[in-house]
Structure 1
Amino acid sequence: MKKYSIQKSPFIVPTADGKLIEEHFGLASIPSALSIAHMVAPPKWSEPFQTPEFDEYTYIIKGKKQFIIEGVTIVLEAGQSIKIEKGTRVQYSNPFDVACEYLAICLPAFSMDLVNREES
């Protein structure tokens, strides 16, 4: 039995907001305790506030991404990363004019049941 998994075709999460989500490991792809996703957020994209029940690590590859964390606005650029602890109220967005490409890692794995998005 091999002790590794190669992901050659990540699960493309369907979205209605133009965001690309390619889950490489997680609940929708190769089952894993954590999730790893490659994402591209289009210009002017945003999500509602949420209070996830997982730690989320984000690494910016290209562009910029805005985080509003417990009322504090933070903008990360290419080469920067952040860890947001579970139970923290956060909003993710790309209010800029260029797409933002990034990696997101969630522990435990991302699940809509654990994200706790607020109503718009």
Structure 2
Amino acid sequence: MKKYTIQKAPFVVPTTDGKLIEEHFGNATNQQSGISIAHMIAPPKWKEPFQTPQFEEYTYIIRGKKQFIIEDELIVLEAGQSIKIDKNTRVQYSNPFDEECEYIAVCTPAFSMDLVNRE
């Protein structure tokens, strides 16, 4: 029995806002996962509603910029930068810029719609 898993075909999460979400590990690919790891590309002018997730979220920016409103603070990260947002923190993610933002998101426990608490 192998003690590793290689993900060659991530699950592409259906979206209606133009954002690409490729989940490599998480609830969409394995219902028993305690973590989710996803590759994402947010198109220009994209944004999500505010949310207060019941999971920690780590984001690493590969290309472009991503805007965060955390509680009442505005933060912009650029390529090569990363952030950890504690669970139960009100946050809004967006890309108000003119270029795509490519990033990796890691959530623990794994992302799920019943834990994200979107407004």
Bucket of the pairwise TM-score, normalised by the shorter protein: over 0.9
Structure 2 stretches lacking a partner, 5+ long: none
Report % sequence identity. 79
Correspondence for 1:18: 18
Report how many aligned residue pairs link the two structures.
118
The whole-number CA distance in structure 2 between the counterparts of 1:98 and 1:20 is 14
Q: CA deviation at 1:80?
A: 0.1
- Tell me the TM-score normalised to structure 1 length: 0.97
User: Residues 1-120 of structure 1 correspond to what in structure 2 (within 5 A)?
Assistant: 1-30=1-30, 31-118=32-119
| Per-residue deviation, residues 23-74 of structure 1 (Å, max 9, x unmatched) | 0000101442100000000000000000000000000000000000001000
Q: CA deviation at 1:84?
A: 0.1
SS at the partner of 1:9?
Answer: coil
The whole-number CA distance in structure 2 between the counterparts of 1:47 and 1:33 is 24
Kindly report structure 1 stretches of 4+ aligned residues shifted beyond 2 Å.
Answer: none
